[in-house]
């Protein structure tokens, strides 16, 4: 398997594992309300988007939406939703997660672009400084014979 494909698969596996971890903690270890679960999933989606980009974050949002529905919205243990208000909550979670992922991805790309521009500006400045130093040395070398001649000229 190629390195980038392996790294990408690892990212998707990590996002799925994060969803499983949240479900285990909030469904088995401690019981919390659905709002806490949704916000925890949302934070996870934002972290995934900021670190790995939009696609793994959207994948995590979809997996989290299914897990949220199955484990935390009544009737628990099914992918059906009894209360229409829970449809709104589920849809709101999914839309918020995807929009937040896009915003985090945009911020990550802009930061990366700014770093690249800063590096390019630094390289240009270094080249200009080196050129100026070369020009100064060349100018000094060309003027040296005339200066020496002027200093030792017998009048």
Give the number of C-alpha atoms closer than 13 A to the C-alpha of residue 84, restricted to the C-beta side. 0
Of 67-76, 79-88, 107-116, 130-139, the one with minimum mean pLDDT is 130-139
Place 52 in a pLDDT band, splitting at 50, 70 and 90: confident
Predicted local distance difference test score (pLDDT) of residue 44 = 92
| pTM recorded for the entire structure | 0.65
Q: How far apart are CA 155 and CA 145, in angstroms?
A: 17
For residues 81 and 149, the model is more confident at 81
The total number of structural domains that make up the chain: 1
Residue 129 has pLDDT above 70, yes or no: no
Q: How far apart are CA 40 and CA 54, in angstroms?
A: 18
Predicted local distance difference test score (pLDDT) of residue 148 = 60
**Pair of tokens at residue 59:** 């994948």
* pLDDT > 70 in the chain, percent: 81
Q: How far apart are CA 148 and CA 54, in angstroms?
A: 68
Residue 155 has pLDDT above 60, yes or no: no
Please provide the DSSP assignment of 110-123 as one string. Answer: HHHHHHHHHHHHHH
For 26, which DSSP code?
I
> Which candidate, 72, 28, 63, 71, places its Cα nearest to that of 44?
63
Domain that holds residue 39: 3-152
Predicted local distance difference test score (pLDDT) of residue 11 = 93
């Amino acid at each position: 398997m190629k390195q980038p494909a392996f790294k990408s698969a690892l990212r998707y596996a990590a996002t799925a594992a994060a969803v499983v971890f949240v479900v285990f903690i909030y469904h088995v270890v401690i019981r919390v309300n659905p709002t806490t679960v949704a916000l925890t999933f949302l934070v996870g989606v934002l972290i995934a988007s900021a670190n790995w980009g939009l696609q793994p974050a959207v994948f995590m949002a979809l997996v989290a939406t299914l897990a949220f529905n199955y484990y935390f919205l009544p009737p628990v243990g099914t992918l059906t939703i009894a209360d229409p208000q829970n449809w709104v909550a589920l849809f709101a979670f999914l839309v918020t997660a995807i929009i937040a992922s896009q915003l985090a991805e945009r911020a990550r790309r802009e930061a990366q672009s700014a770093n690249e521009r800063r590096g390019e500006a630094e390289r240009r400045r270094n080249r200009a400084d080196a050129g100026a130093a070369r020009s100064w040395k060349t100018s000094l070398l060309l003027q040296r014979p005339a200066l020496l001649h002027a200093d030792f000229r017998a009048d």
